[in-house]
A = this chain, B = another copy of it.
């Protein structure tokens, strides 16, 4: 393909709003353009790369025995009422009405649709296991779209659903998918951490998220190198602290009230009273079922809302200011457990180890000091309610400390159990002729995010370093000085020869300076390049280089270019995709890429 014939609008500068490196490079290299917040057009080279992600996934799903289907995006409300998700789904669910005001959703998942489908077939134990998958556009009413296609309103998604006769069958299907996922991300050149995750809105049993570590990610994970533990930060348990090491201060003095005019944040109070933040007892007022309650954590900790929700078994939210004022008798920022009447109080166990604490006085512009929990207020209900932090002990109980990392969730697998099959009557006949509910698993991959993660993890300060499996083209042919016909002719002959050998080739036939061409080639980052200049061509030679080491050029005779590049591929320095239109199942083999540093990948 000639650059002048495709559409490749590269940019010197990305728009200011692009924060993530992948977002910057996808815009600058002409892979995507923004239509509106969270909505992107994939331009020809971006679409080629996205289709390669799609091809890797399709091959691995087929290899795992999954059957490709295509289910409607538009799903009637009745299905979602039946599963109960109409009520429990958050604001991200896209809802709409048709002309006769019937309600529909743009399905964020197809658990209902496929359970309903299987309910109408007569499935016997002989037909099991079965696994179905599809690749299609998804919609999400993203409250805060950011990081380009990583957190978008519309993206490409693969989802799959397995059906087994019992839990053991589900476990086998789950492991087959885990293995397929590992292969997919390895082939895409992405380092992922499979971490324990909250099953979230899909419900059901165990769940793992595949997190690609990168600075621009919506997800936070914690992991322990010593024990191999890894989890989404929000579900990571915090061990009840061993008494001695977690004690903070000690006093026998009675508590007293001090003036803290306008000091309503932890930081302000600590600075004003000259105490460490871990001596504060932070008191947050929440509401569940319109009933206010308080949660206490140490001043240096954050309340983990998911843990509170799970502990109470219902949705919770921070109370609005008027409720806080009614409950505490004070403006926001001065709540405390002492004298707090008529509301349930929960506390993280760490709070009880504060021996000389500070807390709000339930009165404007005042705090209490020398607070001793258990002495100055009764021991509240204790539960693990705080958010894990870097340096926490590993929750396995084995020696080790947690590390915190940001990343993006590229995939998710979950055991759904019989929740949907029971709701929809999706049963099978077992070997004794009895009807039993099918046991389901659900498996997703966000393809748009996978592509962005591959770029995020495989790039340098000059541009993208494509894993060969996803590169829009394999080889960039760069004729320098196309106004000289013999240079362009040579470039065209070499391009044709490479294409006939099965390479996908981009020929930069623009009338641009070498500097512009090299900059764009670095930005676009195709794995191999062939540089055709007058001087070397006079010696019947061209220069061949790899994107990763553009300085290491080698001179190759014109009639040897094809053989030489093939050698690169065969030696595994880069991996060929396109021979006979078939993708080779092989991991990226180049040195120094994050995808190779396996030693950092904890098993889950």
- A: residues with CB less than 8 A from B are 4-7, 9, 33, 35-36, 39-44, 46-48, 50-51, 65, 67-76, 79, 91-92, 94-96, 98-99, 106, 113, 116-117, 120-121, 126-127, 130, 132, 134, 136-137, 139, 141, 143, 153-154, 156, 580-582
Set B36, B69, B143, B580: member contacting A580, Cβ < 8 A: B580
Query: In whole Å, how far is A579's beta carbon from the nearest beta carbon of chain B?
Result: 11
Set B7, B76, B94, B156: member contacting A67, Cβ < 8 A: B7
Q: Is the CB of A74 within 8 A of B580?
A: no
Cα distance A43–B67 in the bound complex, in angstroms: 9
Query: In whole Å, how far is A51's beta carbon from the nearest beta carbon of chain B?
Result: 8
Cα distance A134–B74 in the bound complex, in angstroms: 20
Q: Is the CB of A70 within 8 A of B42?
A: yes
Set of chain B residues within 8 Å of A5, measured between Cβ atoms: 65
Q: Which residue of B lies closest to A50 (CB)?
A: B70
Set of chain B residues within 8 Å of A69, measured between Cβ atoms: 7, 41-44, 47
Query: In whole Å, how far is A328's beta carbon from the nearest beta carbon of chain B?
Result: 31
Set of chain B residues within 8 Å of A130, measured between Cβ atoms: 7
Query: In whole Å, how far is A453's beta carbon from the nearest beta carbon of chain B?
Result: 18
Interface CB pairs A-B, < 8 A, 13: A9-B121, A33-B117, A35-B72, A41-B70, A41-B113, A44-B132, A47-B68, A47-B134, A48-B68, A50-B70, A72-B154, A92-B99, A581-B581
Q: Is the CB of A68 within 8 A of B91?
A: no
Known contacts A33-B120, A96-B94, A121-B9: does B74 contact A47 (CB below 8 Å)?
no
Known contacts A4-B126, A7-B132, A580-B581: does B44 contact A153 (CB below 8 Å)?
no
Set of chain B residues within 8 Å of A121, measured between Cβ atoms: 7, 9
Q: Which residue of B lies closest to A32 (CB)?
A: B70
Cα distance A117–B42 in the bound complex, in angstroms: 11
Query: In whole Å, how far is A272's beta carbon from the nearest beta carbon of chain B?
Result: 38
Q: Is the CB of B41 within 8 A of A117?
A: yes
Cα distance A67–B117 in the bound complex, in angstroms: 37
Cα distance A574–B261 in the bound complex, in angstroms: 89
Set B7, B67, B73: member contacting A154, Cβ < 8 A: B73
Interface centre among A36, A42, A580 (most CB of B within 10 A): A36
Set B36, B99, B137, B581: member contacting A141, Cβ < 8 A: B99
Q: Which residue of B lies closest to A156 (CB)?
A: B70
Cα distance A95–B14 in the bound complex, in angstroms: 32
Q: Is the CB of A72 within 8 A of B39?
A: yes
Set of chain B residues within 8 Å of A116, measured between Cβ atoms: 35
Cα distance A67–B46 in the bound complex, in angstroms: 11
Query: In whole Å, how far is A431's beta carbon from the nearest beta carbon of chain B?
Result: 15
Cα distance A263–B348 in the bound complex, in angstroms: 84
Set B113, B127, B154: member contacting A35, Cβ < 8 A: B113
Further 7 A-B residue pairs, CB within 8 A, beyond A35-B116, A44-B68, A94-B96: A4-B126, A35-B72, A35-B117, A43-B69, A44-B67, A73-B154, A96-B96
Cα distance A39–B99 in the bound complex, in angstroms: 15
Cα distance A136–B42 in the bound complex, in angstroms: 13
Set of chain B residues within 8 Å of A79, measured between Cβ atoms: 35
Q: Which residue of B lies closest to A67 (CB)?
A: B44
Cα distance A564–B51 in the bound complex, in angstroms: 36
Query: In whole Å, how far is A82's beta carbon from the nearest beta carbon of chain B?
Result: 13
Set B36, B143, B581: member contacting A76, Cβ < 8 A: B36
Cα distance A430–B449 in the bound complex, in angstroms: 39
Cα distance A91–B97 in the bound complex, in angstroms: 12
Interface centre among A67, A79, A126, A132 (most CB of B within 10 A): A67
Query: In whole Å, how far is A98's beta carbon from the nearest beta carbon of chain B?
Result: 5
Query: In whole Å, how far is A432's beta carbon from the nearest beta carbon of chain B?
Result: 19
Q: Is the CB of B95 within 8 A of A99?
A: no
Query: In whole Å, how far is A149's beta carbon from the nearest beta carbon of chain B?
Result: 11
Q: Is the CB of A99 within 8 A of B65?
A: no
Please provide the 7 A-B residue pairs with the shortest distance between their CB atoms, ordered closest to farther: A96-B96, A42-B70, A39-B72, A44-B67, A36-B76, A41-B71, A91-B99
